[in-house]
Amino acid sequence: MICIPVIDKNVDEALKSAEKALKVADIVEFRVDMLKNVNKDDIIKMAKYPSIITIRADWEGGAYSGDNNKRIELYKTAIENSAKFIDVELKEEKNKELVKFRNDTNSKTKIIISHHDFEKTPDYDELLKIVKKELEIGDIAKFATMAKSKKDVLNILKIVNEFEGKIIGIGMGEEGKLTRILGVDFGSILTFSSMEGRSSAPGQVDVVKLKKIWELLK
């Protein structure tokens, strides 16, 4: 799957961007942390789209710096309305609470547990520990780490391949672009791609270019 991040500041614009993105992608990621004045009704609207609802905390590289209880309540609204996915951090103390809430409400939402490192890619053994911890909590493990070498790229793809179908593995930065192109073939559930030059993380490949590369590889 190809996922395009929606990074607008205004909810109405974000919904319009999502509709446009879904003409060329399989799913969108609503970066709710980047939106201004978002409320539960807005989350309900977003949950109707094939999407990942992400409210990334500032301590994990996101833009959300408000009350964490409100953030958790917004996630619960997404779950109640069976959003396709939510993405919550491995370091979030209430991630298990969200999983329990999902189970108790019989929601269809899949919960992605994620880890981000904007400085480096941990070695293979450390990445393995991170992924195993994530899968002990949620449905899907996700990591996005800064790739600085071919060894980093190989470690990322090796981990992705070992957890095929249960993982989203990404190498950020220029060196990591190969993981964005090849990750799905190695077993990643999806890859994040930019549209019209708008990206949410370093190294995202433009969706048109990505599709052309995939065609050439086939």
Q: Is 2 left (phi over 0), alpha (psi -120 to 50) or beta?
A: beta
- Which sequence positions are flagged as catalytic? 116, 142
Annotated binding-site residue? 71 = no
Annotated binding-site residue? 198 = no
Position 53 scores a pLDDT of 98
What the chain holds in terms of domains, given with CATH numbers, is 2-217 (3.20.20.70)
Neighbours of 100 (CB within 10 A): 11
Tokens of 8: 């607008």
Position 198 scores a pLDDT of 66
Annotated binding-site residue? 31 = yes
Annotated binding-site residue? 30 = yes
Residue type, 62: G
Tokens of 3: 């996922």
Provide the β-strand partners of residue 113: 88, 141
Q: What is the mean pLDDT of each run of 10 residues along the chain (218 residues)?
A: 94 95 96 94 97 96 94 98 98 97 97 97 97 98 96 97 96 93 95 79 82 91
| Global confidence as pTM | 0.93
